[in-house]
């Protein structure tokens, strides 16, 4: 059964080509942050309609997951949102652990290390988001500063896992390795180094008058629209709702940690504008630093490294969850990351896996947000959504 939607789409483009201008943005355009193609129907500088075309980076994650064991899929989850791989594998691993019923047996030290590396990765991801957003708007320096600071995190995570971006570090029931000796001290050094750098970055970019003029009151996303479109993460919080799954579900060690949930307040314009979304990310970096410090406190005191501690001790030998289906959600750096598992109880591979990617839902609102705006503002909106095509296309 073919649908008539494709014909309607072709007719729309053909009709627009005679009256308005059809403009292709991407897939190679740098401000689309990856291989996203936006088809714009424009009237001069005004965008009448945006038609997103995704899928250039589709690599059949869900099909792959149906033929690989749960442990073997972890490297594939790393490649979903490749800017915060730790968060992806954390959610995946927690989902499998809960289905196996071993989530309560995970050693505290393992949980705290997981949270520590996830938050480091979240900072790295937000730094890319803020830095590239600056570039989109025309500020080059913050980009270099962000990448300079992110490099410290990349170095630390490489030290822990052996890989710079795609870690395969969090395993079902434990970790690949314990943290290397001296990691906690190095991490504390980084936190002390990084805090003043954030102040500098805010002076340079977040509170810069040019930046504010480009982003405040631009791309306002009202809260009800955001919820209806399934936006999550900084997108939803930017619209003024304190909704963070780390707090709502209190998974892993987050229930024992103290942190705030920043949300958009419309300080420079309207609640839910581009500046608010960027500001939420800036504030979240501060909250992540708070979490990291608390994790380090505990990892250096009561959960100290002992010679006989084995992060692989609880690794299950055979992973065959009983027949059920389970939806696991967690707060990735972009929003609610979910994995929906269907298991048949007999085999070591899942029957069906669906990945609910936050970028996928966050981007879907772009057509709604960009009716009647200027093309230059569209760039500002795309940057403020902060999507990663790796998880959008899966």
- Residues forming the site for other proteins (CB under 8 A): 1, 3, 5-6, 8-9, 54-55, 58, 60, 62-63, 66, 98-99, 227-230, 241, 243, 248, 323-327, 329, 336, 338, 340, 342, 351-352, 354, 356, 360-361, 364-365, 368, 393-394
Q: What is the DSSP string of 91-147?
A: HHHHHHHHHHT-TTSS-HHHHHHHHHHHHHHHHHHHHHHHHHHHHHHT--HHHHHHH
Nearer to other proteins, 33 or 329 (CB): 329
Residue with Cβ nearer other proteins (58 or 148): 58
Closest CA to 206 of 294, 127, 278: 278
Instruction: Please say which residue, 281 or 329, places its beta carbon nearer to other proteins.
Output: 329
Q: State CA 91 to chain mean position distance.
A: 12
Q: Please identify, using beta-carbon distances, which residue of 97 and 149 lies nearer to other proteins.
A: 97
Do the Cβ atoms of 205 and 143 come closer than 8 Å? Answer: no
Name the region of 241 (left: φ>0; alpha: ψ -120 to 50; beta: rest): beta
Cβ 106 to other proteins shortest distance, Å? 17
Residue 31 has what DSSP assignment? G
Nearer to other proteins (CB atom), residue 34 or residue 338: 338
Q: How far is the CB of 133 from other proteins (least distance, A)?
A: 24
CB within 8 A of 318, min separation 6: which ones? Answer: 348
152 vs 237, beta carbon nearer other proteins: 237
Q: How far is the CB of 287 from other proteins (least distance, A)?
A: 20
Name 337's bridge partners: 330
Task: In angstroms, give the least distance from the CB of 220 to other proteins.
Answer: 17
The first and second tokens of residue 199, run together, are: 């102040």
Bridge partners (DSSP) of residue 39 are 24, 51
Shortest distance in whole angstroms from residue 136 CB to other proteins: 23
Secondary structure in 3-state letters for 280-339: HHHHHHHHHHHHHHHHHHHHHCCCCCCCCCCCCCCCCCCCCCCCEEEEEEEECCCCEEEE
In the complex, minimum distance from the CB of residue 67 to other proteins, in angstroms, rounded to a whole number? 11
Closest to other proteins by CB, 20 vs 66, is 66
Rounded to an integer, what distance in angstroms lies between the CA atom of residue 271 and that of residue 219?
A: 10
Q: CA quadruple 230, 236, 239, 244: dihedral positive or negative?
A: positive
Tokens describing residue 353: 């896996």
Report the nearest approach of other proteins to the CB of residue 52 (Å).
9
Helical H segments across the chain, by residue range? 5-19, 61-65, 70-78, 85-100, 108-137, 141-161, 183-201, 209-215, 223-228, 234-238, 245-248, 274-300, 358-364, 366-369, 375-385, 389-393
CB of 213 to other proteins, least distance (A): 31
CB of 151 to other proteins, least distance (A): 33
Minimum distance of other proteins from residue 292's CB (angstroms): 27
Q: Closest approach of Cβ 329 to other proteins, in Å?
A: 7
Comparing C-alpha atoms, which of 384, 388, 380, 365 is closest to residue 50? 365
Please say which residue, 293 or 368, places its beta carbon nearer to other proteins. 368
Q: Which is nearer to other proteins, 99 or 187 (CB)?
A: 99
Whichever of 64 and 186 has its CB closer to other proteins, that residue is: 64
| Residue 20 or 62 having the CB closest to other proteins | 62
Q: Report angle CA 4, 8, 11 to the nearest 5 degrees.
A: 140
């Amino acid at each position: 059964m073919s649908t008539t939607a494709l014909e309607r789409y072709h007719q729309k483009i053909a009709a627009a080509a005679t009256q308005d201008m059809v403009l292709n943005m991407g897939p190679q355009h740098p401000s689309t942050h990856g291989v996203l193609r936006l088809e714009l129907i424009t009237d001069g500088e005004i965008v009448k309609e945006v038609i997103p075309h995704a899928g250039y980076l589709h690599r059949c994650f869900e099909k792959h997951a149906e033929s690989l064991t749960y442990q073997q899929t972890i490297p594939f989850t790393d490649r979903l949102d490749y800017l915060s791989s730790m968060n992806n594998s954390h959610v995946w691993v927690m989902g499998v652990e809960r289905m196996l019923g071993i989530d309560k047996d995970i050693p505290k030290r393992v949980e705290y290390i997981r949270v520590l590396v996830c938050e480091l990765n979240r900072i790295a991801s937000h730094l890319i988001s803020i830095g590239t957003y600056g570039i989109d708007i025309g500020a080059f320096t913050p980009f270099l500063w962000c990448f300079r600071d992110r490099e410290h995190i990349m170095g630390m995570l490489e030290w822990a896992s052996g890989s710079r971006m795609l870690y395969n570090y969090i395993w079902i029931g434990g970790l690949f390795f314990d943290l290397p000796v001296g990691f906690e001290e190095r991490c504390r050094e980084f936190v002390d180094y990084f805090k003043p750098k954030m102040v500098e970055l805010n002076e340079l970019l977040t509170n810069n008058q040019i930046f504010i003029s480009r982003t405040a009151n631009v791309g306002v996303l009202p809260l009800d629209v955001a919820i209806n479109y399934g936006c999550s993460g900084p997108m939803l919080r930017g619209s003024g709702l304190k909704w963070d799954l780390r707090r709502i579900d209190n998974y892993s060690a987050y229930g024992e940690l103290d942190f705030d949930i920043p949300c958009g307040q419309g300080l420079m314009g309207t609640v839910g504008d581009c500046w608010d979304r960027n500001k939420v990310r800036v504030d979240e970096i501060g909250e992540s630093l708070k979490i990291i410090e608390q994790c380090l406190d505990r990892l250096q005191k009561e959960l100290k490294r002992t010679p006989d501690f084995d992060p692989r001790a609880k690794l299950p030998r055979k992973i065959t969850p009983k027949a059920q289906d389970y939806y696991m959600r967690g707060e990735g750096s972009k929003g609610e990351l979910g994995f929906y598992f269907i298991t048949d109880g007999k085999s070591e591979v899942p029957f069906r896996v669906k990945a609910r990617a936050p970028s996928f839902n966050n981007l879907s609102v772009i057509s709604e947000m960009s009716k009647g705006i200027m093309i230059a503002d569209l760039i500002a909106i795309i940057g403020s959504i902060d999507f990663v095509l790796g998880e959008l296309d899966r």
